[in-house]
């Protein structure tokens, strides 16, 4: 796998491949500070031409263009590697988006009626939903540049902004911090490349008390494969506390299962995603599917249009055991491949 963000350390030290670093720095067409910064975190794949493109004042769109032969997951990994060379880097993790959502089945109001002793309370079938998901690098390039360690936080909120009868409350907010190690790989299976494997631990909860409280802790693996513009991830997990006597939701795996499958297709700025969870395990009774599409907006580079459809259980923690049939339309800041 090729990453353009660094120079090979060994070659710089020995001078066997590249000219001395001082010669690079003294070149009138190169930014010496850029060359030094790239050299500090060098790997063995970057070419001299790529160094010149990065540090010679080339137009940004030319300097950052990925080689055409990179597959879609490799491009995302390369972009992450370029970002982590900058101190205090915060990067996108899961998709970041804002949606206007409509659910024809209605979200379950019973827990709120019980918690607040408001028998007349009801949720509106329209709301705004948004997700903010960020990650930071903790350690990069371990074990001969094969292993990275990341931490992340994902916030997903469900805002009853049209429910003026009840002061437009946030129906639910899910918090999801996680920590994982990922290993770059190049195994080929059936024409697909197993580009990266990750192993981590994640906590998810809604930060509520009483009958509204929901939480669980999991360890998981994530095996990601790609071929051309296609990628899919197989993500099994194991719940660490679902059997506890004091669990707020001891049967959550009956609805969210023990893993999920995600398939992604990306081309010309469009990203299509399919998620399937707990379908076979539940006999297609208590599973879920999610279909997403992000697409360019009139050539505007910072936002994309976004459509998402969800059908099944576990859209949010509070409604993990209630079925939703929801469609949303909005904007996407980043997707799985950005």
**Residue showing tokens 């990925």:** 66
pLDDT digits (tens, 9 = 90+) for 42-56: 555 666 666 666 666
- Active site includes 93? no
- Active site includes 205? yes
Local confidence band at 32 (pLDDT 50, 70, 90 cut-offs): low
Half-sphere exposure of residue 6: CA atoms within 13 angstroms, side-chain side: 25
> Residue 112 in contact with residue 120, Cβ under 8 Å?
no
Q: Which is more confidently placed, 16 or 331?
A: 331
Of 304, 289, 294, whose CA–CA distance to 271 is shortest?
Answer: 294
**Residue showing tokens 């790989």:** 185
In the structure encoding, which two tokens stand for residue 151, read together? Answer: 């931490």
Of 13, 92, 4, whose CA–CA distance to 52 is shortest?
Answer: 4
Q: Model-level pTM greater than 0.95?
A: no
- Give the lowest-confidence range in 10-24, 97-111, 194-208, 318-332: 10-24
Q: Annotated catalytic residue: which of 2, 64, 83, 203?
A: 203
Q: Annotated catalytic residue: which of 133, 205, 294, 316?
A: 205
């Amino acid at each position: 796998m090729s990453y353009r963000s660094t120079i090979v350390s060994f070659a710089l030290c020995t001078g066997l491949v590249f000219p001395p670093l001082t010669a690079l720095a003294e070149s009138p067409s190169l930014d010496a500070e850029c060359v030094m910064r790239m050299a500090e975190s060098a790997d063995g794949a970057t070419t001299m031409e790529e160094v010149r493109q990065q540090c010679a004042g080339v137009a940004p769109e030319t300097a950052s263009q990925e080689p055409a032969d990179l597959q879609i997951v490799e491009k995302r990994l390369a972009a992450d590697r370029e970002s982590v060379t900058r101190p205090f880097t915060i990067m996108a993790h899961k998709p970041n988006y804002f949606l206007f959502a409509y659910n024809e089945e209605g979200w379950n109001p019973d827990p709120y009626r019980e918690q607040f002793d408001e028998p007349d309370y009801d949720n509106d079938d329209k709301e705004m939903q948004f997700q903010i998901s960020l990650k930071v690098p903790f350690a990069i390039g371990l074990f001969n540049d094969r292993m990275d360690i990341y931490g992340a936080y994902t916030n997903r909120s469900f805002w009853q902004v049209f429910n003026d009868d009840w002061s437009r409350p946030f129906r639910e907010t899910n918090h999801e911090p996680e920590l994982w190690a990922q290993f770059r790989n190049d195994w080929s299976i059936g024409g697909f490349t197993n580009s990266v494997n990750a192993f981590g631990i994640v906590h998810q909860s809604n930060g509520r008390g009483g009958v509204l409280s929901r939480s669980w802790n999991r360890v998981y693996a994530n095996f990601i494969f790609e071929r051309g513009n296609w990628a899919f991830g197989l993500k099994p997990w194991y719940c660490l506390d679902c059997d506890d006597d004091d669990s707020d939701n001891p049967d959550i795996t009956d609805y969210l299962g023990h893993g999920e499958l995600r398939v992604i297709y990306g081309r010309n700025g469009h990203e299509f995603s399919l998620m399937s969870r707990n379908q076979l395990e539940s006999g297609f009774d208590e599973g879920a599917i999610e279909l997403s599409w992000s697409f360019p907006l009139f050539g505007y580079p910072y936002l994309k249009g976004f459509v998402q459809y969800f059908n099944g259980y576990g859209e949010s923690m509070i409604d993990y055991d209630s079925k939703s049939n929801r469609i949303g339309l909005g904007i996407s800041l980043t997707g799985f491949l950005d």
